[in-house]
Structure 1
């Protein structure tokens, strides 16, 4: 009897909820249905919403909860094939996928709440093979392509794009402990001839307890001659700064020392924190054909590529 009463109560509640919603139908000028959705007594959208093409085929489907989309949005082509999907995450970011006309996925990734690409975006060819991946970060409030990896259909990574590999050996530690950090160039920003002359380093805040890089790194110095920006330290490669070779936990080929940076990072306060910095690859050259060099002293031009990183840590007392 108790179960019957409970079922009856749920049924009444559901019927009551449905009775509070009003179906709204909008039409094109040609008389075909343009959109259908439901509203409550306060004219707030709630429940299923469907948009149609003028030819009567479905163009979009989703669901509203109290006037906001909290479900997946499906976008269709006018031949009924799916064109795009968007799923709203709890932090108002959006997980996004779009598709080729043959139905295979073209790309997927995440937009932030300002509709800017963030994190890793994977791209595929029409046959469904993973083609390349781009990492996006918000730098100076703008979308920045931070790294890129190109992949063969076999899964092997090509030496194209610009990327590094790095790791910190732990994300939880005590105040008296330290973190081992390792950075190495995977794919250079420069051509084969020039990259042999590049120098690599990692730039970190000099004292992050006083001034850390902000999430979009807008408080960094934008170029070497700029006096604005927080004080920093620059850790050179193992070729330029050979002492840290002892910190290598795994042997590496000696030819990689010039593109490898390794160091220990020691916390200065307890609690949750973030290590922020950037890996810098720099190339300097003299161009005798530059007009400026004909009537003045030798001018050295410096080019560099920065790859930004951040790593969350949690520091406890001893």
Structure 2
């Protein structure tokens, strides 16, 4: 167990729809991990793609968190208000030769086994005046890092083939850039998130290093799946949380995290459920069923 009064964690949903049960499990795990370490827990809204974000989604997400007693220790951060910081980070990376313009299409990259037919990494002279994406220039690496739940992780990083987009051709900033810039800005020391994001960690480590910042510790919890074995998600039409059943929802989320809450909690309040959960939180009890 991390033992630090300087612990700073966060929950960062994308407002593409209301919170569902899988989101609650991740939010609760990150909240309890932070509180068990006497740390701070922050909420960030990753509203980077307005084309996929219903206008009511952000309010629905924040209302659900409030209904379940999960309150941010600092004002909520909105990525849509952080464009200047992302632009500055890209300019810094480009000045260091760690990012480059690219207007290769996804189809072109697939047809060329991930290699850039325009040789974008090597020379910007071949880039047309058309809108271009900005990509991060990865280094070939056999990456090793320690997950706080899953243990030692190994991931091969392939330069050029795996280079992530930092800003899309349409001008929207991408997750791989914004998540690192904001975690640095907010002083995040520990990230608890779903294991569906596990494979992004090695790339993010290189972005941290390129920005001369210390990476956080990571803890990846298993994702919740439906009866078909699919991850619960808005794309798979996972039902929205019923805020009127917050106590029952928390009870189910604690069970999904292997915490074995007593049934007596079902007759109590949200506050009582969270108090019990903080006192009895055991990271090691989480079932590793999806990896």
Shorter-chain TM-score range: under 0.3
TM-score normalised by structure 1 residue count: 0.20
Q: Please state which structure has a larger fraction of its residues in helix.
A: 2
Select the structure that is richer in strand. 1
TM-score by length of 2: 0.22
Q: Is the radius of gyration larger for structure 1 or structure 2?
A: 1
